[in-house]
Amino acid sequence: MKKFISILTFHVLFLFFSLINTSFSQEANPCLMCHANLKEAKYIHNPITMGCEACHKSMPGKNHPEKGSIILVQTMPGLCYNCHDETKLKGKTIHPPVSKGMCTGCHNPHSSNNEKLLKLTNRELCFSCHDKNKFEKKYTHKVINVIGCSTCHNPHASNNPSLLPNPINDLCTTCHKAQSSGIHIVALPGGKIHPIKDVKDISTLKIIKVPDPVNPKRQIEMPDPKVPGKDLSCVSCHNPHSSDYSKLFPVQRICLKCHKY
């Protein structure tokens, strides 16, 4: 019986201390006395639960909240890469705010009501730095309004230009299969098809005049070898975002962008 009581006392005491302990550890972080708002959101960044020291330290000789009294333990983005794999944010194209270490341009380091600690969601996040007007001209590509920017852009980095997940034509034809051959562009005699890739977009070449090798007194026109130009692709004839012209054409009379008739 005595043994039973002592076991019982032990259990009661254990329960008592563990209760104190949990209620204590919630208050244990003295910083939260004044900064409780940093933990009041739906999603809390995991290291916050370990304390603030994972990212902040006091400067000796200064009293908090004096300016500069508490600083980051390391500069950005190195701070984030202490725990997150940097290689996942690398690629041939890196989004400038990522390469410049402005992670907090998009993420709240403490907590957020949005998933992935994002400060804003979908297009609104992108429009916090990119001019909204460029994407909301008279005709807007339906994907932008319906799904958003992430359909066609990675937020951090990519091995394709413009942070695209795939090369341009592959990306567009995932949804526009009927246009993949280019047969829609113009009916050419003999069933020939207008090129949609593997040639240069002639409007992006710089034409220079050079002496004709056969008759040096004459000048001939040729593309400047120093200006490589862009490859012809779907975006040579369609703005991927929005346009003042139908079919998302970048200019009113699309053929005249490249051909002189």
Tell me the site size for ligand HEC, rule CB under 6 A: 107
List binders of ligand HEC among 47-76 (CB under 6 A): 47-48, 52, 54-56, 64-65, 67-68, 70, 72
From 14-22, 107-115, 208-216, 219-227, span contacting ligand HEC (CB under 6 A): 107-115
How far apart are alpha carbons 185 and 247 in whole angstroms? 12
Kindly state whether residue 245 participates in binding ligand HEC, applying the rule CB under 6 A.
no
User: What is residue 31's three-state secondary structure?
Assistant: coil
- Decide if 238 contacts 140 (C-beta within 8 A): no
When binding is defined by CB under 6 A, the residue of 185, 208, 223, 231 that contacts ligand HEC is 185
- Total H helices, total E strands in the chain: 8, 10
Residue 239 CB neighbour total at 10 angstroms:
20
- What does the radius of gyration of the chain's CA atoms come to, in whole angstroms? 30
Least distance from ligand HEC to the Cβ atom of residue 106, Å? 3
Instruction: Name which of 11 and 40 has its Cβ closer to ligand HEC.
Output: 40
Strand ranges, E, within the chain: 43-44, 56-58, 70-72, 93-94, 111-112, 139-140, 157-158, 207-211, 219-223, 242-243
Least CB distance to ligand HEC at residue 169 (A): 5
Q: Which of residues 11-40 bind ligand HEC (CB under 6 A)?
A: 29-35, 38
173 binds ligand HEC (CB under 6 A): yes
- Per CB under 6 A, the list member of 41, 44, 102, 205 interacting with ligand HEC is 102
C-beta of 217 vs 260, nearer to ligand HEC: 260
Q: Does 255 bind ligand HEC (CB under 6 A)?
A: yes
Residue 91: CB minimum distance to ligand HEC, A: 10
- Least CB distance from residue 15 to ligand HEC, whole Å? 28
CB nearer ligand HEC, residue 11 or residue 134: 134
- Cβ within 8 Å of residue 134, ≥6 positions away: 241, 242
Asked if 223 touches ligand HEC (CB under 6 A), the answer is no
Residues 118, 107: contact at Cβ < 8 Å?
A: yes
How does DSSP classify residue 242?
E
For ligand HEC, the binding residue among 62, 116, 209, 218 (CB under 6 A) is: 116
Planar angle of CA 170, 162, 154, nearest 5 degrees: 80
98 binds ligand HEC per the rule CB under 6 A: yes
